[in-house]
Amino acid sequence: MGLIRKWSAESVDLVSLPAMASELAAFLPARGAVALQGPMGAGKTTVVAALCKVWGMSEPVSSPTFSLVQSYLPSSEVSGAPRKIYHLDLYRIESESELIDLDLESLMDEDALLLIEWPERAADIFPADGWLLRIGIEQSDGRSFELLRASGEKDQA
Average pLDDT value for residue range 107-116: 93
d(CA 22, CA 26): 7
d(CA 74, CA 21): 15
Average pLDDT value for residue range 38-58: 92
Nearest residue to 81 (alpha-carbon basis) of 14, 26, 44, 155? 26
Nearest residue to 1 (alpha-carbon basis) of 47, 34, 41, 42? 34
Nearest residue to 36 (alpha-carbon basis) of 80, 72, 86, 76? 86
Tens digit of pLDDT for each residue in 133-147? 999 988 777 788 999
Record the pTM. Answer: 0.89
**Chain centre distance of CA 44:** 7
Tens digit of pLDDT for each residue in 49-63? 999 999 998 888 988
Tens digit of pLDDT for each residue in 66-77? 899 999 998 888
Domain 2-117 classification at class level: alpha beta
Domain ranges of the chain: 2-117
Residue 140's pLDDT is what? 72
